């Protein structure tokens, strides 16, 4: 993970996940050092900005700040999560069906946090994991919203349906129009892979397919943009979830 | 510009903008060659994929297809654009106030095309220009929606207000809530720079500041996500614009 803002977010919301920090001389501020000392996080000094470039790539905006994060500690077990969950009409969850672009994953986590979702379900396999690029794209929101690891997408959907969730698939050719849906039950939004969409077996499990009306000159929206719009529309009808 | 899909979009919507194409051997398909020949576009063969890497960078998804585009031919002059424009309540425009991230610029152009905007106003100075990364992020929509070059943001706003446009500034601390606005006049949406937002002199010219309600755990939304949401909300109230 890299960047000053990301590290500050992590220190505030999930200091236990930070294993080690590398700082360049100009990023070595007293306030930051004090916070790192408070949580007994080991700090290594970097001799130059170029050393940071070598670690995370010259094209990343690391600002001389690199942190080693144990992303496992950020993830909540699905069983533990559902046990503690008491879903109401104001509860929504987002499930990622094998997304591959870390920027999309981060952006979706950011929107889920912004619009009051209770968590983001992330498959263990065939899915972009929580990397530095995801942390950055999420604007630190990976530390502020539960990320729930799931072994099997279809099993998770079945389980959540048992708990009363209504399952929505976001699809280009969805039967229902997003702004006409009333989202009256606890809602689970399933987001498909950027290329192939949602897998057939998963799609069959969903109660409703949702689409966003578009101008005919445009074939599709970016996965993170369409997710943000659906979550926005959901939040408009669930003001309590923004408290 | 790079990528097979981007080139196909350009061939379909703006062949005059393509000055030259470089193809690797495996991207050298007959259907593509025929189309390029039809518009008399010069083709240079690349000896290897690595040659393409050198041209646009190894981390870009060029797929062995690189095109040299004259982006000036994609831009419409503001004076010509406003002369031909007869705004109605179903007309909206997007104005970028010095955005710097090409991914945001491309994503906003894509959303503007998707939600039926009549054009995107792009300042000549201090603004990310239309590069290959913008074309890619726009999913080819740079070729399908008018891009209007403006010399001065404040002058353009004044001129559009004279033509009957109501000007909305997207701002974190906006007075009005997006979903409560009725967008009854031709609408101009002003999007601020990713870091500093909209400049003061520009903000003063806007009729209404709009915000998107968010959960307190989240400080902000990405500029392209908030723009997409406002344009979506506008399109919900202007179904004619999606025809």
pLDDT per residue as tens digits for the range A2-16: 888 889 889 988 999
Q: Report chain A residues whose CB lies below 8 A from the CB of B216.
A: 242-243
- CA dist., res. A58 & res. A68, Å (int): 17
Radius of gyration of chain B (CA): 19
Q: Report chain A residues whose CB lies below 8 A from the CB of B213.
A: 235, 239, 242
Nearest CA to CA, how far is B45 from chain A (Å)? 29
Pairing between strand B166-170 and B187-192? parallel
Neighbour-count burial of B69, counting CB atoms closer than 10 A to its CB (0-12 exposed, 13-18 middle, 19+ buried): buried
In sequence order, which residues have a C-beta less than 8 Å from that of residue B226 and are 6 or more positions away? B170, B212
Using a CB–CB cutoff of 8 Å, tell me whether A110 touches chain B.
Answer: yes
Query: In B42-193, which residue ranges form alpha helices assigned H by DSSP?
Result: 49-56, 78-84, 102-114, 132-137, 153-162
Give the pLDDT of residue B112: 98
B11 φ, ψ (degrees, to nearest 5): -65, -35
A192: number of Cβ within 10 Å: 21
A57: number of Cβ within 10 Å: 13
Using a CB–CB cutoff of 8 Å, tell me whether A114 touches chain B.
Answer: yes
Encode chain B (243 residues) as per-residue pLDDT tens digits: 888 888 988 998 899 999 999 998 888 888 888 999 999 999 999 887 788 888 888 777 788 899 999 888 889 999 999 999 999 999 999 999 999 999 999 999 999 999 999 999 999 988 888 888 898 899 889 999 999 999 999 999 999 999 999 999 999 899 999 999 999 999 999 999 988 899 999 999 999 999 999 999 998 899 999 999 999 999 999 999 998
Give the pLDDT of residue A126: 82
Q: The whole model's pTM is what?
A: 0.91
B window 90-109, beta carbon within 8 A of A: 103, 107
- Give the ipTM: 0.89
Q: HSE on the CB side for B14, CA within 13 Å?
A: 26
Task: Please tell me which of the candidates A111, A145, A239 has its beta carbon nearest to residue B225.
Answer: A111
DSSP state of A145: S
- CA dist., res. A171 & res. A150, Å (int): 22
Write the CA distances from B232 to A229, A233, B189, B241, integer angstroms.
7, 10, 12, 11
Chain-chain contact of B114 with A221 (C-beta, under 8 angstroms): yes
Among B13, B211, B215, B230, which would you mutate to test the A interface (most chain A Cβ atoms within 10 Å of its Cβ)? B215
Among B133, B225, B233, B239, which would you mutate to test the A interface (most chain A Cβ atoms within 10 Å of its Cβ)? B225
- CA dist., res. A10 & res. A48, Å (int): 24
Using a CB–CB cutoff of 8 Å, tell me whether B139 touches chain A.
Answer: yes
Q: Are A178 and A236 in contact (CB under 8 A)?
A: no
Among B228, B233, B237, B241, which would you mutate to test the A interface (most chain A Cβ atoms within 10 Å of its Cβ)? B228
Encode chain A (243 residues) as per-residue pLDDT tens digits: 888 888 988 998 899 999 999 998 888 888 889 999 999 999 999 887 788 888 888 777 788 899 999 888 889 999 999 999 999 999 999 999 999 999 999 999 999 999 999 999 999 988 888 888 899 899 889 999 999 999 999 999 999 999 999 999 999 899 999 999 999 999 999 999 988 899 999 999 999 999 999 999 998 899 999 999 999 999 999 999 998
pLDDT of B103-152, one tens digit each? 999 999 999 999 999 999 999 988 888 888 898 899 889 999 999 999 99
Q: Chain B: residue nearest A142 by CA? A: B218
3-class DSSP state of B12 = helix
Residue (of B129, B70, B119) closest to B95 by Cα position: B119
């Amino acid at each position: 993970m890299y960047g000053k803002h990301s590290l500050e977010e992590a220190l505030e919301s999930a200091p236990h996940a930070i294993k080690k920090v590398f700082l360049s001389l100009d990023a070595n501020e007293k306030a930051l050092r004090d916070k790192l000392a408070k949580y007994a996080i080991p700090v290594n000094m970097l001799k130059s900005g170029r050393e940071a470039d070598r670690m995370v790539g010259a094209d990343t905006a690391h600002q001389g700040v690199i942190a080693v994060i144990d992303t496992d500690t950020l993830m909540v077990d699905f069983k533990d999560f559902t046990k503690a969950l008491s879903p109401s009409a104001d509860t929504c969850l987002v499930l990622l069906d094998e997304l591959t672009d870390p920027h999309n994953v981060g952006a979706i986590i950011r929107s889920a946090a912004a619009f009051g979702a209770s968590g983001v379900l992330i498959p263990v396999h065939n899915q972009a994991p929580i990397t530095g690029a995801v942390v950055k794209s999420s604007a630190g929101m990976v530390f502020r919203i539960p990320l729930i690891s799931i072994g099997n997408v279809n099993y998770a959907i079945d389980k959540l349906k048992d708990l009363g969730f209504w399952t929505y698939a976001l699809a280009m050719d969805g039967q229902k129009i997003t702004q006409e849906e009333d989202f009256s039950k606890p809602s689970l939004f399933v987001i498909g892979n950027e290329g192939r969409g949602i897998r057939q077996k998963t799609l069959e499990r969903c109660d409703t397919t949702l689409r966003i009306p578009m101008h005919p000159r445009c074939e599709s929206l970016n996965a993170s943009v369409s997710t943000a719009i659906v979550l926005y529309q959901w939040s408009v009808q669930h003001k309590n979830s923004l408290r």
